[in-house]
Amino acid sequence: MIVPIERFESVLYNAETYEGLRLPGGSNLATLLGSYLSTLTNSVMTRNDNTPFDAIDVTLELLGAAFRAQRRSLTIAPRDQLFARISDDIETRLEDANLSPKKIPKLMASRFDIFMRCSANRAGPYQGGCEDDDSCVAEPN
């Protein structure tokens, strides 16, 4: 799809700064856009009415929103990225009957290289060092 930069900047301010932005293949955003663009190409653009021109406006808005979302995800602070990864990991394990609120900090510490701080002022990568589960606090490296 070839679009004049002036037209694209009407939906994506300073569009030139997005040059080279990559949407990772297999990501939710890339999958959604791929399906949309395939439908646009195979079903909408083959019609002989004015619908394709209306669809182009919507497509530009969608691409602009996707580029903005991808750039935002690249500028998220490392601590927030870690929190998002941990939250996603916990959500995938919600059906696990062996997972309990007390086990989550230790499990996440071992999976994500998070230090455990115990009330006894010992710190280090979790290796089963906290005797009292209630005294352990997870902290990112």
Instruction: State the pLDDT confidence band at 117, using cuts at 50, 70 and 90.
Output: low
The pLDDT score that the predictor gives to residue 119 is 55
Q: What integer is the mean pLDDT of 81-107?
A: 84
Give, for 125, the enclosing helix (H) or strand (E).
strand 123-125
Task: Give the pLDDT score at 25.
Answer: 84
Mean pLDDT of the residues in the chain: 77
pLDDT over threshold 80, residue 52: no
Tell me how far CA of residue 127 lies from CA of 68, 86, 106, in angstroms.
41, 19, 9
- Position 125 scores a pLDDT of 47
First to last CA, the chain: 44
Is the pLDDT reported for residue 28 higher than 50? yes
Place of tokens 């209306």: 54
- Higher-confidence residue: 1 or 83? 83
Give pLDDT, residue 126.
46
pLDDT above 80 for 60: yes
Helices (H), the chain: 5-9, 28-39, 51-74, 78-92, 103-112
Q: What is the pLDDT of residues 2-12, one digit of tens each?
A: 778 788 888 88
| pLDDT: which is higher, 141 or 93 | 93
